[in-house]
Structure 1
Amino acid sequence: MAQVSFDGSAVPGGRVSRRSLLRGAAAGAGAVALPAVLAACGSGPGGDGRTIRLGSNSSDPVPKKAFAAAFAAYEKQSKEGRKVKVNTVDHNTFQENINRYLQGKPDDVFMWFAGYRMQFFAKKGLLHDISDIWGSYEGFSPALKAQSTGEDGKQYLTPYYYYPWAVFHRRSVFEERGYQAPGTLDEYIALARQMQKDKLVPIAFCDKDGWPAMGTFDYINMRTNGYEFHRRLMAGEEAWTSNEVRQVFDTWRSLLPYCQPAANGRTWQEAATSLQKKQAGMAVFGLPHPGQQFPEEEQDDIDFFPFPVINPEHGQDAVEAPIDGFLLAKKSKSLKQDKVMESAKDLLKWLSTGEAEDIYLAGDPNNIAVSDRADTSKYTALQKKAVELVSGAKQISQFLDRDTRPDFSSVVMIPAIQSFINDPKDVDGLVNGIERQKKTIFAAD
């Protein structure tokens, strides 16, 4: 496989639901009450050093089963008899409580994200440096290494897979109705209007969990203003009151009549299911989201097209393709034992191999391997198309809540976007409020 160039810059971000925000704006700082299920997953000293405790946020059935297969394969090949004890927590619960988890009694290894979200916790001293084993990794591009590197130049993440965002639909629905994939915003709206006439909800839409609608914002922004503006905006270097940002919300407002109503009360699983049931015609999602809600016999019916062109100057240059992987928690008590640390690093080294990615992707074809040592010969048509999408991109973004500060993402942007979805008329009030809070938060450092 041709190596994908992950050259988008990343900034810290965190996914926190509105439920957490209502418990207190300090959610971004980790002041949320930690659920017993997550608190109970912490590790402690003892044991023979061969058991690795791993915190997983892959709670949906498809990835959960695929990871189980990968970890079982690791145990089988381990000459030392090492075992992986997995603690799986609901995806959003894991996200909401990641600060408290890492500062409390975390597992030895845990799943998390590349780029700034990883850098944020590394800077806080909550991650173990794994630079010593990164030197033995093969098949990763320099850009992937950069996405796994902290501000101090050390590596903290073992990348495992990525997944692009696009506009997903059912191939059979498009064929039956004679729909054509739109290339421009005008064509996108025209298609949405036709779907309404055909008694379909044009765009499945959701934001109950606080992050799904961010993908739509990012694409409208990058298609309108370009990747560099997106990067500067996420870094606090551009004003949210600018004409560029106002135009993003104005464009988004023109699309809302074609979106499922009451999006703030709908989970991504429910939105993806409406696509699967042919109730909705399209959905802006990441590759795993529709795949995990479609039964196996319907997987071949999933298709996508790139988010349409808005400003020809920027075309479809940028693609959102978040990278996920594995890290070592600094406050894991058992990692203080040399044998446990050795076992944990051994697991990470194995997870960095093409073989490990092949085993996982055999059970979850809704992601793409990051290693060029992985076997792509068995990729589905959808996976091959996803590789082409990312390989052809001029810039790669990591998603809004991964491309900015966690406190700004959780405390400001989640409620702001949900407020916009509920009442999209007052764009002036919306951007003024975001800008005021942005100045306060970014000035804190």
Structure 2
Amino acid sequence: MATPGSHDRTTLSSPTRRSVLRAAAIGAGAVTLPSVLAACGSGSGAGGGGKTVTFGSNWSDPVPKQGVAKAVADFQKSQGYTVKTNTVDHNSFQQNINRYLQGNPDDVFGWFAGYRMQYFAQKGLLSDISDVWGNFTGFSDAIKAQSTGLDGKQYFVPFYYYPWAVFYRKSVFAQHGYQIPTTWDQYIALAKQMQKDGLVPISFSDKDGWPAMGTFDYINMRLNGYDFHKSLMAGHEDWTNPKVKSVFDTWRQLLPYYQQGALGLTWQESAQALQQKKTGMMTLGMFLGQQFGSDVSDLDFFAYPAIDPANGQDAVEAPIDGFLLSHKAKDPEAAKKFLTFLGTAKAENDYLSVDPTLLGVNSAVDTSGYTALQQSGAKLVSTAKSISQFMDRDSRPDFVSTVMIQALQTFLNSPSDVDGLCNSIQRQKTAIYATEG
């Protein structure tokens, strides 16, 4: 990102957000830019009549893809524009975002709020949309802050958010008489009981490189507090600090209760295991409900358990997803018309009518049809003392993609040498933060 410590996460008192990077080369076989994003921004025909917008979409799973398509269709019908959507696999899109933006990007593309947006804005790869924000209503100051670059200008249109928590099936808990844990000791005791009952206690995956970040973030915030976590993500803290080592030592207590072969599983596969009642719990964003189909009414969650009573359960991960205008938009005015629509409650209602596992950020969104899960999610975030955006959104992207993805996977594969792991992270962090970023 910009410079170390340049980002200060805003504490939100109202609902906000969703996230995740998906890493810059999660292993051999990572798809390259030409084969994945070549279609994006090419052959659009934009710029000729001022009525065509190209849109790079990373909403590739069936439910979100349908939700975005409904909003796009509404814009086309009501405004008389043509939107040419280039949908790319979510992970591949993230992995190739740098080359995409420096090459021939679409006019508008999907991305994340906060630090992840600020980095590309400072690199000159985004267009200022402060004038578009002049037309917006229904966004809180906190949400506007997450949409603002380090130069004070707005670059991001928020669309929805989703809290991270520990999810479970209500019927499984009722069947076994499980109680909701609020402390770490209760959480471990519940995992042990699930194991005795023949369940794999915790669905867990990290093939995609980002799901493990959420668990790190929560344990860090529960152990060391939100302010330390924010400072660590911003590059101010030493990774050899005993506070950081205690995060890994505490996390290690959970490993015996994880799914086998977690590094080879996608989040969808782990969510399906929870849906099939093979596992008992899963720490992920509320979007995991997309894998539940008609069973989503049986899905519920509890706040990540407290570890240090001084920090309680005050902090919540709740990333915001939305849209950006590329610096190479072929028809900026047409693109801004599209972005103006995407910032309305109507566009969010379009999406949420298809995907009931996320939450609208506009205060005018129709919540009368919110499911019990959505209502609980909105309450969790609105009552939180602090909101984090997720490791890969609150840190420099080069640090997360080249260091933290591999570091967390190394820990999961071989958790015994925490000292060596933290020393390695710190050495690499020092080298990266010594560069311009």
TM range (shorter): over 0.9
Deviation for aligned residue 1:76: 1.4
Deviation for aligned residue 1:7: 9.8
Question: Which among 6, 13, 22 is matched to residue 5 of structure 1?
Answer: 13
SS of aligned partner of 1:19: coil
The one-character-per-residue Cα deviations of 1:265-318 (angstroms, maximum 9, x if unpaired) are 1100100010011000000000002x11112x2110010000000000000110
CA distance in 2, matches of 1:234, 1:325: 22
1:212-251 superposed matches below 5 A: 212-251=211-250
Deviation for aligned residue 1:39: 1.6
Tell me the equivalent position of 2:320. 323
Deviation for aligned residue 1:397: 0.3
Question: Which among 290, 293, 307 is matched to residue 292 of structure 1?
Answer: 290
The one-character-per-residue Cα deviations of 1:148-187 (angstroms, maximum 9, x if unpaired) are 0101110000101000000001011001111111000000
SS of aligned partner of 2:249: helix
Answering whether residue 209 of structure 2 is matched by residue 210 of structure 1, we say yes
What code does the residue aligned with 2:50 have?
Answer: G
The one-character-per-residue Cα deviations of 1:379-433 (angstroms, maximum 9, x if unpaired) are 0000000000000111100000111000110111000000000000000100010
What code does the residue aligned with 1:285 have?
Answer: L
Q: Which runs of 5+ in 2 are unaligned?
A: 1-11
Tell me the equivalent position of 1:19. 26
**Contact residue 55 and residue 111 of structure 1 kept, 8 A:** yes
SS of aligned partner of 2:26: helix
Tell me the equivalent position of 1:120. 119
Tell me the equivalent position of 1:337. none
Q: How many residues align?
A: 423
CA distance in 1, matches of 2:228, 2:370: 34
**Contact residue 159 and residue 370 of structure 1 kept, 8 A:** yes
Q: Percent identity between the aligned chains?
A: 62
Deviation for aligned residue 1:442: 1.2
What code does the residue aligned with 2:108 have?
Answer: V
What code does the residue aligned with 1:59 have?
Answer: S
What code does the residue aligned with 1:70 have?
Answer: A
What's the RMSD between the two structures over aligned residues?
1.9
SS of aligned partner of 1:71: helix
The one-character-per-residue Cα deviations of 1:108-156 (angstroms, maximum 9, x if unpaired) are 1000000000000000100010001101100001111110010111000
Tell me the equivalent position of 1:409. 400
CA distance in 1, matches of 2:20, 2:128: 20
Tell me the equivalent position of 2:76. 75
Answering whether residue 414 of structure 2 is matched by residue 427 of structure 1, we say no
Deviation for aligned residue 1:19: 3.2
**Contact residue 13 and residue 406 of structure 1 kept, 8 A:** no
1:316 to 1:199, Cα distance in 2 relative to 1, 3 A:
same
SS of aligned partner of 1:136: coil
What code does the residue aligned with 2:290 have?
Answer: Q
What code does the residue aligned with 1:352 have?
Answer: G
Deviation for aligned residue 1:84: 1.3
1:41 to 1:18, Cα distance in 2 relative to 1, 3 A:
closer
Q: Which runs of 5+ in 1 are unaligned?
A: 335-339
Deviation for aligned residue 1:15: 3.2
CA distance in 1, matches of 2:144, 2:122: 17
CA distance in 1, matches of 2:64, 2:218: 26
CA distance in 2, matches of 1:260, 1:240: 28
What code does the residue aligned with 1:394 have?
Answer: K
Tell me the equivalent position of 2:342. 351
Tell me the equivalent position of 2:386. 395
Tell me the equivalent position of 2:7. none
Deviation for aligned residue 1:5: 2.8
**Contact residue 178 and residue 190 of structure 2 kept, 8 A:** yes
Tell me the equivalent position of 2:62. 61
1:351 to 1:383, Cα distance in 2 relative to 1, 3 A:
same
TM-score normalised over the length of structure 1: 0.92
**Contact residue 6 and residue 396 of structure 1 kept, 8 A:** no
What code does the residue aligned with 2:380 have?
Answer: L
What code does the residue aligned with 2:332 have?
Answer: M
* Runs of 4+ deviating beyond 6 Å: 7-10
SS of aligned partner of 2:230: helix
Answering whether residue 112 of structure 2 is matched by residue 104 of structure 1, we say no
CA distance in 2, matches of 1:42, 1:396: 34
CA distance in 2, matches of 1:41, 1:64: 16
Tell me the equivalent position of 1:153. 152
Deviation for aligned residue 1:331: 2.1
1:14 to 1:363, Cα distance in 2 relative to 1, 3 A:
closer
1:213 to 1:55, Cα distance in 2 relative to 1, 3 A:
same
CA distance in 2, matches of 1:85, 1:49: 13
Deviation for aligned residue 1:51: 1.3
SS of aligned partner of 1:378: coil
Deviation for aligned residue 1:36: 2.1
Deviation for aligned residue 1:42: 1.5
The one-character-per-residue Cα deviations of 1:298-344 (angstroms, maximum 9, x if unpaired) are 11001000000000000011000000111111123x2xxxxx32221
Answering whether residue 376 of structure 2 is matched by residue 371 of structure 1, we say no
